[in-house]
Amino acid sequence: MTQEIVFYGANNPETARMIRACESTQDVRFVGFLDGDAEKQDKPYLGLPVFGGVEKVPELAAQGIKFVNLITRDSHTRYTTSKEIARLGGEFANLVHPSIDLFMVELGVGNYLQEGVIVQAGCRIGDNSSIHMGSLIGHETVIGSSTFIAHGVAVSGCVTIGDGVFIGAGATIVPRVKIGNWAIIGAGAVITKDVPDGAVMVGNPAKAIRQQENLPACGSPYV
């Protein structure tokens, strides 16, 4: 039976290419969008309807439709939005470009992996995380939930990345380091040692420039 899916976030035209690639190779059909911007609601985006905001989740979920969260601007917004969709009864599906080899990879639910991502054997990815085009995830790396990895990031083998982490474009993570929950890694940063929870890291080698306070809860947003 074909699984119908609704996206949250009517913003990125790249979604049209993901739709085309996935519908041509997988038993899925993408039926529309939700978005919190009232100006986008009740108007088509990429040829699909924007049904409304999260208030439409119960109605759509009752039809057996699942959800994919496309928000990537920051990990906290991604986490809270998915948590609200789940609270309203929404269930999540993965959006994975069909070119990505996930053999010997453990993948949770609600993840968004774009074209050109390489995830090597032995990796584990939690729920509600997003990895963008051309990023490399080395063998046996563990990625938590609600983490965002921007394009062109190189994560070496045996790295541990916590929940809610944001890693900017072109960053490099050396082998076997641990990145704490809700850390922010700046674009182009080179992480050479462990990063504590909530640290904001920039530079090469990366150094902490700020420590975030009042960090959100950790774990999957679905529980």
Q: What residues act catalytically? A: 139
For residue 137, report the phi and psi dihedrals to the nearest 5 degrees. Answer: -110, 110
Decide: 2 and 65 in contact? Cβ < 8 Å.
no
112: which strand partners? 95, 130
For the chain, how many helices (H) and strands (E)? 3, 23
Nearest-angstrom CA–CA distance, 223 and 205: 37
Q: In Å, how far are 77, 118, 193 from 72, measured between CA atoms?
A: 8, 19, 25
Nearest-angstrom CA–CA distance, 141 and 158: 4
Decide: 92 and 67 in contact? Cβ < 8 Å.
yes
| Chain Cα centroid distance, residue 88 | 20
Looking only at the bridges linking them, the beta strands covering 3-8 and 28-34 are parallel
From the list 50, 47, 46, the residue with the least C-alpha distance to 60 is 50
